[in-house]
Amino acid sequence: MGGIPTIYEFLAYLNFLRGTPAAILVLLTASLILVLPDWRWLLLALILQYLVVGLLFADVLPPHLAFMKVLVGAFICLILYITARQVNFGRLPEDVTEEEVGQLEEERLVQIGPYSLPIELLFRVFLALIVILTIWAVSQSTGFLLTEVPEHVNLAILSLTGMGLVTFSLTGEPLKAGMGLLTFMTGFELFYHAIEHSIAMLVVLSIADLIIALSIAYLMQARHSFLAFLD
């Protein structure tokens, strides 16, 4: 009674999420990363994604190794969160003048009933729906079934790699593209660790994920520094 629950107890608590619900949640979080413009929501979606993917990793890896992947994901989110805070979550600096704001391209809006929505957001929602439909269709087709993994993990792999690929292809903005890359990598690792149970590969891929996150953080600083704004 009392004390910190073990990994196995955690997994038992979250049993209701395991299997297909986890795969669908992952599809949802990856879609949110593609669609959402606000960095704070993006980071929340990413941490949620790493937590849920941990449950899927537990289906292909021993639970303690799956927990390690969740920890790596948490560190990645921490790195990105700290950097995002340093650059004011990608928003304009508070002391910027109206004249300086005037240099920036205005966001194009479209009126839908009483709401004004950015055109880019609508485009991304539309694209996300198409990708979701494609992923669903592909996951149901036997031709694209990855025989080495359970069916729900197959859906999660397709969701993460597909959404990740579309996310990083659509933008050059370091945080968004970086999250796309990390989502793609997570999907691939889910597949790769199911077929290759090497600890060395698990460690080195986790190190690679962390270094990619550091690199993205560096690029975020460069892209959103005050000097970059003046440029």
Partner 1 sequence: MTAPSILLLIPIGAATIVYLLRRRQTLAVIIGFLAVLTMALFTGTRRPGGVPVSSVGESILNLRWEFFGQPLILNDEIQATLILVYLGVGFLFILTLPFPQDTIFIPATLVVLASMTAALLAQTFVFGSVLLLIAAAVLAILIQGERPGSTLASVRQLSLAVLAVPFLLIAGWMIDTVQAQFLSSIIFLLFGAIVILMVAFPFQLWVSSTVVESRPLVPAVTYGLIALLVTVFLLNVLIANPVVFGNSQFLTMLRVSGAATLIAASLFLLTAKSIGRLLGYLLLLDIGATVIALGLGGRVALDAVMALIVLRILGLILAGVGFGLIRDQVASSLSGDNQLDRCQGLAWRKPLGLALFIYGGLSLAGAPLTPGFAGRWALIINSQSPPGLSMVILVISVIVGVVGLLRFLAKTLSKKDTGSEVEISPGSNASRIVASGLLFLGILLAFFPQLILSLSRMLANPF
Our CB check for partner 1 shows the closer of 81 and 168 to be: 168
The distance of closest approach from Cβ of residue 187 to partner 1 in the complex, given in angstroms and rounded to an integer, is 9
Residues in Cβ contact with 145 at an 8 Å cutoff, skipping those fewer than 6 apart: 139, 151, 154
The distance of closest approach from Cβ of residue 202 to partner 1 in the complex, given in angstroms and rounded to an integer, is 9
Angle between helices 63-86 and 39-60 (to 10 degrees): 170
Our CB check for partner 1 shows the closer of 124 and 176 to be: 176
The distance of closest approach from Cβ of residue 220 to partner 1 in the complex, given in angstroms and rounded to an integer, is 8
Our CB check for partner 1 shows the closer of 56 and 185 to be: 185
Joined together, the tokens standing for residue 163 give 């959404």
Q: How far is CA 116 from CA 3, 81, 93, in A?
A: 51, 29, 24
Residues that bind partner 1 (CB under 8 A): 168-169, 172, 174, 177-178, 181, 184-185, 188, 192, 195-196, 198-201, 203-205, 207-208, 211-212, 214-216, 218-219, 222-223, 225-228, 230-231
- 93 three-state secondary structure: coil
The distance of closest approach from Cβ of residue 138 to partner 1 in the complex, given in angstroms and rounded to an integer, is 17
State the pairing for strand pair 109-112/115-118: antiparallel
